[in-house]
Amino acid sequence: MKKFVNDPENFVPEFMAGVIAANPDLLEAMPEFQLIKRKNVDASKVAIVQGSGSGHEPAHVMAVGPGMLTAACQGPVFAAPPVDACYETIKSVATDAGVLVLVNNYQGDRMAWDMACEMAEAEGIKLKQFIINDDVAVQDSLYTVGRRGVAGNFFVMKACGAAAEAGADLDALYAVADKVNSNVRTMGLALTSCIPPAKGDPIFDIGDDEMEVGVGIHGEPGRERTKIKPADEITELLFEAVANDLPYNSGDRVALMINGLGGTPPAELYVLYNKAAQLCADRGLTIARNYVGEYCTAIEMAGCSLTLLKLDDELEKLLAAPAETACRIF
């Protein structure tokens, strides 16, 4: 296993300790719940929380900070956090203004947060739960758990985080989350598998000349397994799947994200962005904001996802608002 890891069982606590060590002024931890929260939370504002499996960094604990999440907890790599941790996350930042609980649509996360929300509400904590499900690779039907929540989550956090800073109340925040989620679509693609530290070997097998189209951020099989294609064809097939889903129409202003899944270097993401930007232009979409980098990873998987978000003035302003997280460049 080619990873920087000590005892795999301590992988999550150790990287979280690193996040705290690197951000002592901004963040603090409750290690017993694998929970990270902002320091100096403004009690008059709605708190925003999230929590999901580890291995998607910078989502979710590294997305805590002013203008983003108020607190987040992590489960083991690729597994929802225990119910207790979710409950404590809500409790640790609950304000009179209430708590917005953002849940990516995975059954494990949903059940844990459902139980945690029931417990918190029983104690009189005011909250609303919102489910994010932007992954077009998955068929949405009554007979499944529904579409997964993937990189589009970033936009929900960012927009709600900005609105909360601006003083929006819980209902207004829920409406912002809903607007983003209704207008955001994503699809991912994997070139390689990835190795959860505790598992020690790849989560799936994939041939040297194959790619997995529509992969989930936990290496779940996607829409189809095909021969690897040139970058432009890959971009096209992701773009078509995403852009036709909502659909995004000529004249729309959009945010475009090319997200790296962990093992793909920056230069390759810009090769994809280059083509995606052309495809937007061809379709008459104006890219008002763009995002190229790692926002929601699948450990060290080589791969990418493409996200489109249809913007209006409100969302564009919320995305442009300042924010700060554990991940910095300068």
Partner 1 sequence: MSTLSSDQIAKAIDVTCDTVIANEKYFSDLDGLAGDGDFGTSLATGFKVIKKELPEIDKSAVGAMLLKISMICSKHVGGSSGPIWGTGFMRAGMASKGLEEVTYEQLTEMLGSAIEGIVARGGAKRGDKTLLDALWPIHEKMQEMDGSDLGAVLAAVAAEADKAIDETRSAVAHRGRASQVGERSANTPDPGIVGVATILKDWCAHYGVDFVPQAAELKR
Ligand X SMILES: Nc1ncnc2c1ncn2[C@@H]1O[C@H](COP(=O)(O)OP(=O)(O)O)[C@@H](O)[C@H]1O
Residues forming contacts to Mg ion in the complex (CB under 5 A) are 79, 108
* Selected binder of ligand X within 8, 108, 221, 293 (CB under 6 A): 108
Tokens representing residue 258 in the block? 């090319």
- Answer yes or no whether residue 41 interacts with a copy of itself by CB under 8 A: no
Binding to ligand X, residues 199-238 (CB under 6 A): none
CB of 54 to a copy of itself, least distance (A): 7
Binding to partner 1, residues 208-227 (CB under 8 A): 216, 218-222
Tokens representing residue 289 in the block? 């904001």
Residue window 35-74: x/- pattern of binding to ligand X, with contact defined by CB under 6 A: ----------------------------------------
* Selected binder of a copy of itself within 175, 290, 316, 317 (CB under 8 A): 290
220, 212 Cβ separation under 8 angstroms: no
CB of 291 to a copy of itself, least distance (A): 7
Query: For residue 216, which of 52, 11, 3 has the smallest C-alpha distance?
Result: 52
- Which residue is associated with the tokens 């909250």? 127
CA dist 268 and 83 (Å) reads 38
CB of 144 to partner 1, least distance (A): 5
- Answer yes or no whether residue 107 interacts with ligand X by CB under 6 A: yes
- Answer yes or no whether residue 31 interacts with a copy of itself by CB under 8 A: no
- Answer yes or no whether residue 57 interacts with a copy of itself by CB under 8 A: yes
Taking the least distance from each CB to a copy of itself, the nearer of 128 and 289 is 289
3-state secondary structure 52-63: EEECCCCCCHHH
Identity (one letter) of the amino acid at 160? C
Taking the least distance from each CB to partner 1, the nearer of 111 and 320 is 111
Query: For residue 11, which of 237, 262, 257, 199 has the smallest C-alpha distance?
Result: 199
CA dist 295 and 217 (Å) reads 11
Selection from ligand X, Mg ion, a copy of itself, none that 99 binds (CB < 5 to 8 A by kind) is: none
Binding to a copy of itself, residues 232-261 (CB under 8 A): 232, 234
What are the backbone angles phi and psi of residue 137, rounded to the nearest 5°? -65, -30
CB of 52 to a copy of itself, least distance (A): 13
- Answer yes or no whether residue 300 interacts with partner 1 by CB under 8 A: no
Pairing mode, if any, of strands 35-38 and 27-30?
antiparallel
Tokens representing residue 285 in the block? 């979409």
Selection from a copy of itself, Mg ion, partner 1, none that 22 binds (CB < 5 to 8 A by kind) is: a copy of itself
- Which residue is associated with the tokens 């996040």? 19
- Answer yes or no whether residue 201 interacts with a copy of itself by CB under 8 A: no
Residue positions annotated with a catalytic role:
56, 218
3-state secondary structure of 194: coil
Taking the least distance from each CB to partner 1, the nearer of 136 and 159 is 136
3-state secondary structure of 312: coil
Q: Name every residue whose Cβ is closer than 8 Å to that of residue 107 and which is 6 or more positions away in sequence.
A: 145
Helices (H) and strands (E) in the chain, counts: 8, 12
CA dist 87 and 32 (Å) reads 13
- Residue numbers at the binding site for partner 1 (CB under 8 A): 9, 53, 75-85, 106-108, 111-112, 114-115, 138-139, 143-145, 147-148, 196, 198-200, 203-204, 216, 218-222
Residues that bind ligand X (CB under 6 A): 80, 107-108
